[in-house]
Amino acid sequence: MAAYLLGIDVSTTATKALLVDAQGEVVAVAATEYPFDTPHPLWSEQDPVVWWYAAVQSIRDLLARTAVAPGDIAAVGLTGQMHGLVLLDETGAVLRPAILWNDQRTGEQCDEIRARLGKDRLIQLTGNDALTGFTAPKILWVRQHEPQVFARAKRFLLPKDYLRYRLTDSFATDCADGAGTLLLDLASRSGSRAMLEALELPTDFLAPVYEGPQITGHISATAAAATGLREGTPVVAGGGDQAAGAVGVGAVREGIVSLALGTSGVVFATVNAPYFEPEGRLHAFCHAVPERWHLMGVMLSAAGSLRWYRDTFAPGTAYDDLLAPAEAIAPGSEGLLFLPYLTGERTPHPDPLARGAFVGLTVRHTMPHLTRAVLEGVAYGLRDSFELMKGVGLRAIEQVRVSGGGARSPLWRQILADVLDTELVTVNTSEGAAYGAALLAGVGAGVWPDVETACEACIRVTGSTAPRLAAVDRYEAAYIAYRGLYPALKASFVELAHF
């Protein structure tokens, strides 16, 4: 049996290729960067061809730097940025630049989707409210504003699935990424006829939907010549970046939650049934793991809040030097709270007008108090997602697996463990979604019988932070005060927006 697995991640800024062996050890990583375009305010676009050229470059770099023969690669797994719209004509040619996940032009189309279905029915079908980042509103925008383009469109693909098409000549998507289009039925894990009919889209507009480890095609002769891969190498469905990233840290069963503490903060909880939050304040998607779903809360300014704070008040200071004095401050920062809505918020308040604030300042407060308050405010904001998840069926949390740049801070990990009142652990994997895609490829190739077995074989806990009882009690009171801030300030945020 071939001994290696290839994971490819088509992100917003680069395409990464990652090679792992049959024990899950990373052999090599290569990445090729590219920009994205903002042709108008709030717009975000990318030419899909750059993903293909970047993938070719990254794969060739990877093969050149290792002694691995293309024939020793058992399978390829794909992941990437979710929600992007790639429109193809009947020949498979791209009709316009892809509209990306962070494009904000589709507010009117979101309202139209709610009007066509009713918000309650929309959430019951798809698990989600209509948001500007999702794919379906983008399709309606093109139909309304670029009718000549839409008239030629025969199919749409998501970013990683366009790469799949270039690699295999096959049209396919996976359950997890497909759920982010707003065109998948959450419960049945298949295309939603009700959604397609309500939006007046043909039933074959959405590509066939597969489970994450299923084989969707094989490397074509043309792709083999371009990339150096072996013709006929299987390519599995993979998953959107969040689901694949959860596989990459082993968050594949109930009780284990992934917390990614990057610029934004993502709380990802695997569930065994298609739960959804009735008001749509959480994302509810299919997992890349067969017969599993997930709930997801997204906080827009997590580690981004600390970066803003450092760059504004202590530019050039190393993070370790900035955080060290805050360790001496007692939990709760002597009554100082930080509201981390520096770029608006998504969970639990989908409000672009929400703003950041320090509340409770007195003359006793020093810079270390402010520093600790920022860390605590982000922790409270992440707890909001946990509370929503508990309210819609998430069972007891056994363990939170934390990753991302913010997770490097022992102080921040301790604050999170105390605020969440649960064990926080780190794991041996740090390559995120590309690593998860490689594990999914391994399951598809028969290296492991299922995703859970793959994760148990390859992912190990490397550190643990337990909550402290006294701090848990103190933070419980502070969190109650924190939860009162947004309702109290919401009207002020609207007024301040006019300035």
Active-site amino acid positions: 241
Task: Give the chain's count of helices (H) and strands (E).
Answer: 18, 24
Phi/psi of residue 199, nearest 5 degrees: -95, 5
Strand 399-403, strand 424-427: pairing: parallel
3-state secondary structure of 360: coil
Q: CA quadruple 49, 55, 58, 63: dihedral positive or negative?
A: negative
CA atoms within 13 A of residue 327's CA, in its CB half-sphere = 12
Give the CA dihedral 457, 399, 303, 36, nearest 10 degrees: 40
**Non-local CB neighbours of 373 within 8 Å, separated by 6+ positions:** 333, 336, 337, 338, 358
DSSP assignment string, 390-440: HHTT-----EEEEESGGGG-HHHHHHHHHHHTS-EEEES---THHHHHHHH
Per residue, the 3-state secondary structure of 191-241, as one string, reads ECHHHHHHCCCCCCCCCCEECCCCEEEECCHHHHHHHCCCCCCEEECCEEH
Whether the bond into 348 is cis, omega within 30 of 0: yes
Contact 6, 75 (CB under 8 A): yes
What span, in angstroms and rounded, lies between the C-alpha atoms of 215 and 208?
A: 12
What span, in angstroms and rounded, lies between the C-alpha atoms of 481 and 403?
A: 28
Q: Which two tokens stand for residue 470?
A: 């006294």
Strand 73-80, strand 4-10: pairing: parallel
User: The tokens 């399978």 sit on which residue?
Assistant: 75
Mutual orientation of helices 433-445 and 451-458 as an angle, nearest 10°?
A: 120
**Non-local CB neighbours of 64 within 8 Å, separated by 6+ positions:** none
Q: Which two tokens stand for residue 229?
A: 């891969």
| Residue 253 buriedness (CB in 10 A; 0-12 / 13-18 / 19+) | middle
Contact 451, 440 (CB under 8 A): yes
Phi/psi of residue 14, nearest 5 degrees: -165, 155
Helix, strand, coil percentages, rounded to 5, for the chain = 40, 20, 35
